[in-house]
């Protein structure tokens, strides 16, 4: 531990260096960059100074799907309910490029650089899970996307087939490219903490990725069974019960997520990622390539009504629910 501490003290990690030191290092290394001795790094979206959490922005990443989507924010980071004033529906031109879902105001053009607003609206799909929003009935063809940081977004597609294609593409990208998670933080308190899910792309092969997901699925299934075998005392109230429910909700969601990842990798997701835009959920092989220059459907203006203020149930379980 002492040797590790001294090594970090002498050579600080890049994302832990202060901004002033980073600027100095950049100014000192300008000659090396001009000489072409360093390769161009992938820029990142975010201001956390942590490459594991910031969204990787790669201009040369593959484009897997494009099309119009209407977005509604349901929950912010860590599952906190989005304020009412920020829950309205907004229409974007969505581009699934690499592991990032870009939500742009204008139609996608490969040669056009993204604006600052487009980058702010970008959503990373690493370790994310897309599914049909079965408990949302106010609009048709709505899918739910839960991200690695537990944000919950609703997207309305143009048709049911389009919705299913978006679900398949997002889950396939997440299954193939999500890097293995890091262990959760360790502290003196017994409070439950979720593990860190890095936004970087995995370096594992497809077979190694499948084995990694299978091992994670087995581990989480065991943890969930053990967790439910020791429910809290009915007399207990407050933080202990809330912590139990939070962990149960997390393990159940992760179990479902890895089950879908494993199923997609076993079926052969590369065929679906390289297949046509109208791929069926059965993951059948398609020899056509996605068309990126389709005619843009006319996006209808979405009006909010008063009833939408109380729509959609929260992701975190209610405290009043009975513990099973």
The answer to whether residue 27 is domain-embedded is: no
Q: Are both 151 and 221 inside the same structural domain?
A: no
Q: Are both 54 and 172 inside the same structural domain?
A: yes
The answer to whether residue 121 is domain-embedded is: yes
247 φ, ψ (degrees, to nearest 5): -65, -40
Q: Are both 62 and 164 inside the same structural domain?
A: yes
**Torsional class of 49: left (φ above 0), alpha (ψ -120 to 50), beta (otherwise):** left
Q: Are both 118 and 158 inside the same structural domain?
A: yes
Enclosing domain of residue 129: 45-178
Q: Are both 58 and 100 inside the same structural domain?
A: yes
Question: Which CATH number is 168's domain given?
Answer: 2.30.29.30
The mean pLDDT value of the chain amounts to: 76
How far apart CA 171 and CA 145 sit, in angstroms, is: 10
Q: Are both 120 and 233 inside the same structural domain?
A: no
How far apart CA 44 and CA 228 sit, in angstroms, is: 39
Q: Which pair of structure tokens corresponds to residue 22?
A: 């980073």
Q: Are both 150 and 210 inside the same structural domain?
A: no
For residue 272, what pLDDT is reported?
67
Q: Which of 229, 249, 269 is the last residue of a domain?
A: 269
For residue 180, what pLDDT is reported?
92
Q: Are both 213 and 127 inside the same structural domain?
A: no
For residue 20, what pLDDT is reported?
52
CA dihedral (45, 48, 54, 59) in degrees, to 10, reads: 30
Residue whose tokens read 């990690």: 13
Cβ(94)–Cβ(68) under 8 Å?
A: yes
Q: Is 132 helix (H, G, I), strand (E, B) or coil?
A: strand
Q: Are both 87 and 126 inside the same structural domain?
A: yes
The answer to whether residue 63 is domain-embedded is: yes
Q: Are both 90 and 158 inside the same structural domain?
A: yes
Cβ(69)–Cβ(156) under 8 Å?
A: yes
Adjacent-strand bridge partners of 91: 70
Adjacent-strand bridge partners of 95: 66, 102
The answer to whether residue 320 is domain-embedded is: no
In total, the chain counts a number of residues equal to 324
Q: Is the dihedral of CA 197, 78, 57, 178 positive or negative?
A: positive
Mean pLDDT by 10 residues, the chain (324 residues): 78 58 46 40 53 71 93 89 88 94 87 81 94 92 94 95 96 94 71 84 92 95 94 78 90 96 86 56 35 37 41 43 38
The answer to whether residue 290 is domain-embedded is: no
Q: Are both 49 and 166 inside the same structural domain?
A: yes
The answer to whether residue 61 is domain-embedded is: yes
Q: Which of 239, 269, 299 is the last residue of a domain?
A: 269
The answer to whether residue 141 is domain-embedded is: yes
- What are the E-state strand segments in the chain? 43-45, 55-57, 63-75, 90-97, 100-104, 123-124, 129-132, 142-146, 152-156
Q: Are both 256 and 216 inside the same structural domain?
A: yes
Q: Is 38 helix (H, G, I), strand (E, B) or coil?
A: coil
For residue 316, what pLDDT is reported?
45
The tally of domains found in the chain comes to: 2
How far apart CA 27 and CA 45 sit, in angstroms, is: 22
The answer to whether residue 240 is domain-embedded is: yes
- With 0.75 as the threshold, say if the pTM is over it: no
């Amino acid at each position: 531990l002492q040797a590790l501490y001294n090594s970090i003290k002498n050579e600080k990690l890049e994302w832990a260096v202060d901004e002033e030191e980073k600027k100095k290092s950049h100014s000192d290394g300008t000659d090396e960059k001009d000489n072409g001795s360093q390769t161009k790094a992938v820029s990142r979206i975010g201001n956390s100074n942590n490459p594991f959490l910031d969204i990787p922005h790669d201009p040369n990443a593959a484009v897997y799907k494009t099309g119009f989507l209407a977005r509604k924010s349901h929950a912010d980071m860590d599952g906190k309910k989005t304020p009412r004033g920020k829950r309205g529906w907004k229409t974007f031109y969505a581009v699934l490029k690499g592991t990032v879902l870009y939500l742009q105001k204008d139609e996608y053009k490969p040669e056009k650089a993204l604006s600052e607003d487009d980058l702010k609206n970008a959503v990373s799909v690493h370790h994310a899970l897309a599914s049909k929003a079965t408990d949302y009935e106010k609009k048709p063809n709505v899918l739910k996307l839960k991200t690695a940081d537990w944000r919950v977004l609703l997207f309305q597609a143009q048709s049911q087939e389009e919705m299913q294609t978006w679900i398949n593409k997002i889950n396939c990208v997440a299954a193939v490219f999500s890097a293995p998670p890091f262990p959760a933080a360790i502290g003196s308190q017994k409070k439950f903490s979720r593990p860190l899910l890095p936004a970087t792309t995995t370096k594992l092969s497809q077979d190694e990725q499948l084995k990694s997901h299978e091992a994670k699925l087995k581990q989480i299934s065991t943890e969930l069974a053990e967790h439910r075998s020791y429910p809290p005392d009915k007399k207990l109230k407050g933080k202990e019960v809330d912590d139990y429910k939070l962990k149960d909700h997390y393990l159940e969601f992760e179990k479902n997520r890895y089950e879908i990842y494993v199923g997609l990798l076993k079926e052969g997701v590369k065929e679906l990622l390289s297949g046509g835009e109208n791929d069926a959920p059965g993951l059948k092989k398609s020899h056509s390539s996605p068309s990126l220059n389709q005619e843009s459907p006319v996006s209808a203006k979405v009006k909010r009504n008063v009833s939408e203020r109380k729509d959609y149930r929260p992701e975190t379980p209610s405290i009043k629910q009975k513990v099973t």
